[in-house]
Amino acid sequence: MGMLQNKRILLGVTGSIAAYKSAYLVRDLIKAGAEVQVITTPSANTFVTPLTLGTLSRRPVLSDLVKDADLGVWNNHVDIGLWADIFLIAPASANTLAKMVDGEVDNLLLTTYLSARCPVFFAPAMDLEMHTHPANQSNVETLEKRGNIQIPSESGELASGLEGTGRMAEPLHIVAFLETYFAERAPLKNKKVLITAGPTYEPIDPVRFIGNRSTGKMGYAIAQTAASLGAQVTLISGPVSLKPPRNVEVIHVETAEEMYHETVARFDSCDIGILSAAVADFRPSASASEKIKKADAKMRIELEGTRDILMELGRRKGNQVLVGFALETENALQNAKGKLQAKNCDMIVLNSLRDKGAGFGHDTNKVTFVMHNKNIELELKDKSAVAKDIFECLIGEFL
């Protein structure tokens, strides 16, 4: 489902034989697009090494409250808890579950648990008799009543050789459980989002074209973010050299006319349209069928205007939210406000080529959200962070 893309997951590993599965769990969470920070209890390190978990998570494993006693450096459990979107404790041993209930804090994992403000999931792992013991079952029930979410143990062969319930849920089952959790709560669930991205190429002849410097990075970041928020996303992409976003339908086009047809054909059925593509305003009025030779050095190219996609969508707009982009070099805010009105948009994302680190080719962007009732100016950010800001604004203002 792709719901774990860019999610920050704090993985707590406790002292259980099932700790070996945590290595597979980290791998699967990373594959699902999550950022993973592992915290281990001291006893967990006897079952699986921090080197293994750190290598797979691409982050140093946190285990000790004190990082460097001589320098007075410690692992701040409050900051760790605030970083996470969810705290997943897997495997969760009977000992750790009991301490969670009683509020004991004799290791970094437990101090972080009491500090965490995010949803907490726990996947019990223990032998059959321990799992079914009334004391353990009471602890599980207490944690659930307090709002913690159990990922139930599975049945099968246990470390003792017995058969029964108590096995930690398989890593892929845990990933699916988390995907479902986020999908059910996704703010753009059941919404259809249509996005355009990249440049268009307007052919002069079979070899040459008129284009621009757009890389498509902003539009692709918007598409990936929309998918991670639960939307059904269609991305109309001009020619780019980017990896397709996860769980996004990508339709490749080349010219402004092709982008016009593909976008207009899908707009009526979408809920949100975001036009971030740098569409050519002009194209050659005629394209040569054969390569034009260099000998024709005084050749002139006559241009004609392309059809305005945003204008057409604004004309068709009903209950949809329509967002346009404006890249300006002068009178930026004035021009963006004019575009907002003329093309019947709900918001214009304004960026300027005069801002360092913004515009074409960069991994960062500096934008202003221009709306009918207000403007919101943002600082220079990574384009994925800008994409998140766009949807936070749309959800808060229009949905």
Tens-digit pLDDT profile for residues 61-77: 999 887 666 666 677 88
Q: What is the CA radius of gyration of the chain?
A: 26
pTM: 0.82
CA distances to 58, 244, 303, 335 from 280, rounded to whole Å, are 41, 22, 11, 18
Give the architecture (CATH level 2) of 8-184: 3-Layer(aba) Sandwich (3.40)
Please confirm, yes or no, whether 365 is among the known catalytic residues: no
User: How is 109-165 classified by DSSP, letter by letter?
Assistant: HHHHHHH--S-EEEEE---HHHHHSHHHHHHHHHHHHTT-EE---EEEE-TTS-EEE
Q: Which two tokens stand for residue 71?
A: 């320098």
3-state helix, strand, coil in the chain (%, to 5): 35, 25, 40
CA distances to 55, 73, 374 from 68, rounded to whole Å, are 22, 5, 49
CATH class of the domain whose range is 192-397: alpha beta
Residue intervals of the chain classified under CATH 3.40.50.1950 are 8-184
- Among the listed residues 76, 212, 335, 375, the single catalytic one is 212
Angstrom distance (rounded) from CA 247 to CA 227: 7
Tens-digit pLDDT profile for residues 138-150: 999 999 999 999 9
Angstrom distance (rounded) from CA 399 to CA 223: 18
313 Rama sector, left if φ>0, alpha if ψ -120 to 50, beta otherwise: alpha
Residue intervals of the chain classified under CATH 3.40.50.10300 are 192-397
Tens-digit pLDDT profile for residues 319-365: 999 999 998 888 889 999 999 999 999 999 998 777 787 767 788 99
Write out the chain's pLDDT in tens, 399 residues: 578 988 999 999 999 999 999 999 999 999 999 999 999 999 999 999 999 999 999 999 999 887 666 666 677 888 898 999 999 999 999 999 999 999 999 999 999 999 999 999 999 999 989 999 999 999 999 999 999 999 999 988 777 777 778 899 999 999 999 999 999 999 999 999 999 999 999 999 999 999 999 999 999 999 999 999 999 999 999 999 999 998 899 999 999 999 999 999 999 999 999 999 999 999 999 999 998 887 755 778 899 999 999 999 999 999 999 999 998 888 889 999 999 999 999 999 998 777 787 767 788 999 999 999 999 999 999 999 999 999 999 999 999
Secondary structure tally for the chain: helices H, strands E: 13, 23
